[in-house]
Structure 1
Amino acid sequence: MSDYQITPLDHDDIERITAIEQRAHLFPWSASQLAVSPRQFDYHYVLRLATTPSTIIGYFYARCIAGEGEVLNIAIDPDYQGQGWGWVLLNGMITTLRHVGADSIWLEVRESNIPAKALYQKHGFRVVHRRQQYYRCADGHREDAWIMEKRLT
């Protein structure tokens, strides 16, 4: 695996992460949603190749309020999936949230997203709840979300 950097999101990154978002998610966030200005408790980071910093492999949007970290959005460029980059990015997100005082991290994931669920479980996230018919599907149906938590203390 190449050298990498996890750096704060820069406004110039929005176009590149919007392209990843469009390819990585069934119902992607818009460019304007991705371009939201960071607030005091929000953390927006990108995963870059160190040798070519303009190459963004993935990103995460998270926040921490009152000791609870929450993953708002996370994605790896489909061209880089299955190569261990999700592990790298998730490690960076956990480290970031721990550093800013998170005692736990919460996320939700589509029930059908087997690779993401496996990655989260390998990182120590556990299923704590199921939100029925939470996510829209391309065929008009809805699917459940798994609510997962990782305790950091």
Structure 2
Amino acid sequence: MSDYTLQPIGDRHLTDIERIEQTVHIAPWSKTQLAPAQGCFDHHYALISQDDQIIGYFYARCIAGEAELLNLAVDRPFQGKGVAHQLLTLLKKTLVAAGAKTLWLEVRQSNYGARALYQKQGFELISHRAGYYSCPDGTTEDALVMRYQISSSHVL
């Protein structure tokens, strides 16, 4: 995986990120939601690329020691190849530097791949949120709330 490059997200990346977002998420974020917030020091964004092709990214925020993973995606051809693992490792290092003690996330109950990744990364299931996610057919899906206790010795 040494041929992957990690870098901050900028406006020039939005078209590629939007393409990935549209293909991997059931309810994708809009281009406006994907645009990095200007001047927000509590928001953290990064992408991973290979040969100048964006293959994954994350969006998170950290306020008063509490962090939340808002969005993480890996382009379909690169799923299952350790890219999400690298993104989560980078995220944890970023959050240690930001002073976070806890990282929270919600994941669709049906997203078995993401759930397995998060469990392997040390996240624990805390609770369910009934009907949290909207589905294209008008129904809803439960979210699983997961937590990771950040320790600099675990991620550095």
2:17 aligns with 17
Shift of 1:152: 1.1
Distance 2:35 2:132 in 1: 25
1:40 aligns with 41
Distance 1:94 1:6 in 2: 14
Distance 2:146 2:88 in 1: 14
Give the letter aligned to residue 66 of structure 1.
A
Q: Give deviations 1:95-124, integer Å, cap 9, x for gaps.
A: 111121110100000000000000000111
Tell whether 2:62 aligns with 1:64: yes
Shift of 1:3: 1.6
Give the letter aligned to residue 54 of structure 2.
I
Aligned length: 150
1:73 aligns with 71
1:91 aligns with 89
Distance 1:79 1:23 in 2: 11
Kindly indicate whether the alpha-carbon contact (under 8 Å) linking 2:62 and 2:95 is maintained by their aligned counterparts in 1. yes
1:117 aligns with 115
Identity %: 45
Q: Give deviations 1:62-86, integer Å, cap 9, x for gaps.
A: 0110001111111001121111111
Shift of 1:6: 1.4
5+ long unaligned stretches in structure 2 = 152-156
Of 98, 104, 124, the match for 1:106: 104
Give the structure-1-normalised TM-score.
0.93
5+ long unaligned stretches in structure 1 = none
RMSD: 1.2
